[in-house]
A and B are shown apart, each in its own frame.
Chain A
Amino acid sequence: MSAVAGAPAPTVVAGRPGIAARLASLLRQVLASRLGLVGALIVLAVVLAAWLAPVISPYDPVAVDLELKLQPPSLAHLMGTDQAGRDILSRALWGARVSLLVGVIAVAIGLVGGIVLGTLAGFYAGTLLEQAIMRTVDALFSIPLLVWAIAVVGIVGVGPITLGPLSIPNEGKVILLVGFLYVPAIARVTYSVVLAESRADYVRARRVQGANDLEIMATEILRNCLSPLIVQATLFIAIGIIVEASLSFVGLGVQPPKPSWGSMLADARGYVFSGEWWLPVFPGLFISFTVIGFNLLGDALRDVLDPRKREAGLVV
């Protein structure tokens, strides 16, 4: 290392800064806004809680102890215990794992599906392929995908799916269906950007240089979709967490005894009338704060990335 210590730092010759530099500058601008900072801190806290759940949870989240059931919050159990004597704080910390898992992977699936469809349709505008893709997207927009997700999980059943040695729990289906929920919206955003950019001079210039369609799509055009998609992805994580919790609440999401916020609230339903307020209150606060965090972060990102500050359309 010492040999190059005296060498001048490599400078970026091209006019465009690299992705890493752009992300760093983006992060700086987001953290500069007060609400963006709050959102980022909440998201960071939830990510840490999910990651460190095995270390920081005071108790085993699934250990049943009927002698300790329905204890109000105390120093030993900061958020009390549930009907099976399980520590609510520990269950809520572990519940963050499933929520984030579903939220993030579902968005990843939605991004892959939506970007592929949107890019193809936008790039091959005027062809049958564009018509086929965009009419399908229109059709998907015109049906209630949440109801369909509920019906599909209900009909297929909530049991795990076994693929050889692998056993995929019901969350797998939930992730897939929530991801599907995002595809039409992401496809539309990508489509509109690609449609505008694929006629731009720099794309023509790249073609003259001998770049093929795939290269141009992968390098030049997707770069322009990055800004709106980062905003959407963040806001969609928030929606995914709410959808997962709602599905788990009605018994079609994460299956007990695995801790999740939605199923904790399903358990709490029976204690709403009898005064054990800590059962319904704390898991809901976890959901709400997490979702507020992602929403604030998404709004701050939009303020930086989208000068027109468009509101995201409805997806659920």
Chain B
Amino acid sequence: MLRFILRRMVFSVGVLLVVSAVIFLLTHLVPGSPAIIVLGADASSEQVREFERRYGLDRPLAVQYLAWLRDIVLHGDFGRSYISGQPISGEVARTFPVTLEIVILAFLFCVSVSLPLGIVSALYQGRLVDHVARIFAVIGVSVPGFWLGLMLIVYGAVHLRLFPPGGFIPWSAGLGPHLQSVVLPALALGVYYTAIISRMTRSSMIEVAAQDYIRTARAMGLSRRRVLQYALKNALIPVVSVSAMSVGYMFGWAIIIEQVFNIAGLSRALLSAIFQRDYYTVQAVVLVITTVFITANVAADVVYRLLDPKIRGVAA
């Protein structure tokens, strides 16, 4: 098990290294020097040279990359944004918790709704509950999250006036207002994965219920409760792993959802950096989200192996 985790981590670090090189090359090979973006097209060549010297852009690309990587790994320093002049790490530290909170809330909503829904749906297969749950699941995977967000604003914020129409209200303004400001975004973000996970739970339960050991348990006269316990333990293995992965995916969709709700989170920092052509911030945020995503994936794999004795002993 330890060896598996170790191998998985070495692989992940490798992927991160490749990925960081790719995003670095992408932002540095795109036509148009940052100097021109900042100083304007009519800047003199001396001004441009001075700018490039100040930001170290006159060095060879490989040297720039290694220096960038060294600062990130050793000091957690992503450099300065040439648009705002501020350190990018500060921007990341400010916006990351906002996105993380919304993703966690979405995840909690997702798990607390999808697991009971999927289990009940499987237990009462073909009955009314099951039909309703399946219709919800099809709609849930089909309605785009950003449009759901818009509709939640139209109905919940503008019509019912129960929620603020957008923006992030910090904890310091009180628990109630704070929660009100994050409920709708979390909902819009979580519904897609709620639908996916409830479907997975249902089909996994049905598959397990058809296994021989469940039939044996029944035949032995075990109580319905005990049999359900056995079935659940096995049926939930793939579900837990997909749930962990969905956390990573939600960080991606948060880009779109934060835009809908006008929330200044990490993901929106990415979009505004894109539109300001602040490429250093873009590469930093992409790297951070990729790291979170990879971590969620490793966690999913490890949990899967811990839970499933069938593959626990098998080498990666």
B217 at the interface (CB under 8 A from A): no
Contact with A along B156-191 (1 / 0, CB 8 A): 001000000100000000000000000000000000
Indicate which residue in B144, B150, B200 contacts A272 across the interface (CB closer than 8 Å).
B150
A70 at the interface (CB under 8 A from B): no
Q: Give min CB distance, A33 to chain B, whole Å.
A: 13
Measured CA separation A310–B206 after assembly (Å): 11
Chain B: CB-nearest residue to A148: B286
Measured CA separation A250–B262 after assembly (Å): 12
Known: A143-B294, A273-B165, A314-B246. A245 touches B144 (CB 8 A): yes
B242 at the interface (CB under 8 A from A): yes
Q: Are A144 and B274 in contact (CB under 8 A)?
A: no
Most buried by B among A146, A238, A280: A146
Measured CA separation A234–B270 after assembly (Å): 31
Contact with B along A266-281 (1 / 0, CB 8 A): 0011001101010011
Q: Give min CB distance, B53 to chain A, whole Å.
A: 24
Q: Are A265 and B158 in contact (CB under 8 A)?
A: no
Indicate which residue in A147, A150, A242 contacts B144 across the interface (CB closer than 8 Å).
A242
Q: Give min CB distance, A34 to chain B, whole Å.
A: 11
Chain B: CB-nearest residue to A147: B252
A287 at the interface (CB under 8 A from B): yes
Contacts of A190 in B (CB 8 A): none
Chain A: CB-nearest residue to B262: A269
Measured CA separation A146–B286 after assembly (Å): 11
Indicate which residue in B138, B147, B275, B289 contacts A295 across the interface (CB closer than 8 Å).
B138
Contacts of A272 in B (CB 8 A): 150, 153-154, 158, 165
Q: Give min CB distance, B13 to chain A, whole Å.
A: 11
B15 at the interface (CB under 8 A from A): yes
Q: Are A151 and B142 in contact (CB under 8 A)?
A: no
Chain A contributes a number of interface residues (CB within 8 A of B) equal to 50
Contacts of B200 in A (CB 8 A): 311
Q: Are B252 and A146 in contact (CB under 8 A)?
A: yes
Chain B: CB-nearest residue to A153: B274
Known: A142-B293, A151-B282, A152-B26. A295 touches B141 (CB 8 A): yes
A249 at the interface (CB under 8 A from B): yes
A156 at the interface (CB under 8 A from B): yes
Chain A: CB-nearest residue to B199: A311
Q: Are A150 and B30 in contact (CB under 8 A)?
A: no
Q: Which A residues from 133 to 149 make CB contacts under 8 A with B?
A: 135, 138-139, 141-144, 146-148
B194 at the interface (CB under 8 A from A): no
- Which 6 residue pairs are nearest across A and B when measured between Cβ atoms? A154-B274, A284-B147, A291-B142, A146-B252, A292-B142, A144-B293
Chain A: CB-nearest residue to B204: A311
A316 at the interface (CB under 8 A from B): yes
Measured CA separation A275–B15 after assembly (Å): 48
For the complex, would chain A's binding face be called helix, strand, loop or mixed by DSSP majority? Answer: helix
Q: Are B256 and A249 in contact (CB under 8 A)?
A: yes
Q: Are A138 and B11 in contact (CB under 8 A)?
A: yes
Measured CA separation A296–B137 after assembly (Å): 11
B117 at the interface (CB under 8 A from A): no
Q: Which B residues from 122 to 138 make CB contacts under 8 A with A?
A: 138
Known A-B contacts: A146-B249, A154-B274. Give 13 more (CB < 8 A). A142-B297, A144-B252, A146-B253, A147-B289, A151-B23, A152-B26, A155-B279, A245-B144, A250-B259, A269-B260, A280-B154, A295-B138, A309-B203
B107 at the interface (CB under 8 A from A): no
A251 at the interface (CB under 8 A from B): yes
Contacts of A280 in B (CB 8 A): 147, 150-151, 154
B12 at the interface (CB under 8 A from A): yes
B21 at the interface (CB under 8 A from A): no
Chain A: CB-nearest residue to B267: A147
Q: Give min CB distance, A100 to chain B, whole Å.
A: 15
Known: A155-B282, A280-B154. A147 touches B297 (CB 8 A): no
A288 at the interface (CB under 8 A from B): yes
Q: Give min CB distance, A300 to chain B, whole Å.
A: 11
Q: Are B251 and A147 in contact (CB under 8 A)?
A: yes
A299 at the interface (CB under 8 A from B): yes
Chain A: CB-nearest residue to B206: A309
Known: A143-B15, A155-B282. A238 touches B154 (CB 8 A): no
Contacts of B146 in A (CB 8 A): 245-246, 249, 265
User: What are 10 A-B pairs at a CB distance below 8 A?
Assistant: A139-B14, A142-B12, A142-B294, A143-B294, A144-B252, A146-B255, A147-B255, A147-B286, A154-B282, A155-B282
Q: Give min CB distance, B7 to chain A, whole Å.
A: 12
Indicate which residue in A148, A246, A268, A316 contacts B150 across the interface (CB closer than 8 Å).
A268
A43 at the interface (CB under 8 A from B): no
Indicate which residue in A141, A151, A157, A308 contacts B270 across the interface (CB closer than 8 Å).
A151
Indicate which residue in B30, B147, B207, B289 contacts A287 across the interface (CB closer than 8 Å).
B147
Contacts of B158 in A (CB 8 A): 272-273, 275
Contacts of A151 in B (CB 8 A): 23, 26, 270, 274, 282, 286
Q: Give min CB distance, A233 to chain B, whole Å.
A: 16
B114 at the interface (CB under 8 A from A): no
Contacts of B248 in A (CB 8 A): 144
Q: Are A284 and B26 in contact (CB under 8 A)?
A: no
